Structure 1
Amino acid sequence: MSFANASSILSAQSVTVIAGLGILLTLTLGEFDLSVAANLSLASVFVVTLPERQGVPVWLSIIIAVAISAGVGLINGLVVVRLQVNAFVGTLGMATLLGGMAQLYLGGTDQYVAPTSLTALARTEWLRLPLSVFYALAIAMVLHVVLRYTAVGRRMNAVGGNVRAARLTGIPADRYRIAAFTAGGLLAGVAGVVLGATLGAATAAGNPALLLPIFAAALLGSTTISPGRFNVPGLLVAVLFLAVVVSGLQQMGVAAWIQPAFNGTALVVAVALAGWASRARVAHARRRQLEAIAAEGAATATRT
């Protein structure tokens, strides 16, 4: 229990939070984006290597990296919505493609040097916390407001609940699905920039190990705060829960295989709990509807 340990955990989870917020958008609409880890890894490659190898200014390399990731998200959305390819298959194929592109661009060699102006964007501290933590919190606050208090958020939940019913009410469901994939890709790019700035390096192997914690946090988050519904506060709680447990295991000196085993188990448990919470929410809504119908029937009989 120390501030240094808390700061380390928060800093390490900034990338997971930002990427998790990205897939939260697609999950809200009932879709999957399995390319998120490969997408953010590609963004980290470009943001680190463009200034060093091509002499591109850091600010422009950030824009290019995020734009490429947003473009990847747009392609995912078009493939899933327009070509009607299953999201699991389409985004898994995209993840493999992006991994190959990263290796092609790096030539199979890792980049271990990054501009100090880039690393300062994530490592500089404010209130004794790295700036990367505040980036994640700022994005989380904006997304929470959008999903919880705006018409856009209500429509997204409507599309995720029942696409056909949403279309019948006039909601352009396909546009929202494509936009969610695009915005998710953009946030993956932001997460990649933060990752590259934090590490000051990029690897051709990518960061496939990030995929499980990201999905586990998003799915486990749907069982807290607002059970049965994907929500930002729940995701933050889930990320902290998983990170604190892993940190505790590491400090206890457990074997190296424990951490991936825990993450895999957490994902399975998260999916099971998310399904249970969703079913419980539907059952509760059905009971309330039946109670309202019964009460209205009793009132009508009394008046008669």
Structure 2
Amino acid sequence: MSNIGFLLLDNFSLTCFTQCLDVLVTANHVRPGSIKVHTFSLNSSEVMSDLGIPIRSDTPLTDIRIANLDLMVICSGMRTPRTMPNWLTTLLHKLASLPVALGGLWNGAWYLGKAGLLDGYRCAIHADQRTALAEYSPNTTVTLDTVVIDRDRLTASTPAGAFHLMIKWLYSALDYKVADAVFDVLDYDQSRFRKTADTPNQTVTAPLREVITLMKSNLEEPLGLDHLAQCVKLSRRQVQRFFQAQIGTPPQKYYLELRLTEAQRLIQNSRFAIIDVAIACGFVSAGHFSRRYSAYFGYPPSRESRHDV
């Protein structure tokens, strides 16, 4: 039997949490008693999810309880306070000293990184928190992936990632036949979460995905359309047609929106000055950046809200 714990933090992502539970409960239907699920919180209190639905933990945070775990998952969310209370630091270090794998949902990796438990690891974290984690944990490889399993660290940044993280855990912790059966049962319901590309259009082709990946990897020094086309062995005209047909927008506009969206995330989730954000996102001057930002978001970057970092 595998023992899995979920530590619920205020405003945790209920969708990520229930995706995990769906997989684990289904595993117990396939093979009764194969998974034991525990929910934890500070002082065993009720925790409010990001959807305003409270969840009460069922297991006290005692040394005996956590020592029996195979995996502890930190459940966080977009509005979870990005602070590191002493009790959480102490708990995470205690868990790290035990043969317990550690995981994080949504931006749960931030807390693992802040505690120094992601040094030398790859991880997944929600896009809004990538910069913050990179600042606080410079020895961590912060990826663009939605799910990463690196040895005894398991992280997912989206509900889809949470689902696949638990499926992958089943394959490693239980008989693969159980994991296969769970995936077969849930596959239809989960199809809408599957990652084909970072766009809602399900007909995006592999060459276009490559172009988008190149764009995301080159925000500070944007690549020209001819260069992008050359990298994926397409003509400039082919790239333009693919964007228009599959996404409904020209490639230059799509690239600009990627840079502006990343700029917003940097402003909200880092201590960078506006001019530093502009440079990091490929804008040659603060004035040009401000005009583009205002046109896209409807207000200048100086009025953007900054979260506590």
Instruction: Pick the TM interval, shorter chain.
Output: under 0.3
After TM superposition, the score normalised by the length of structure 2 is 0.24
If asked which structure has higher relative contact order (CA below 8 Å, sep 6+), I would say 1
Q: Which has the higher strand share?
A: 2
Structure showing the higher helix proportion among its residues: 1
Q: Output the TM-score relative to the length of structure 1.
A: 0.25
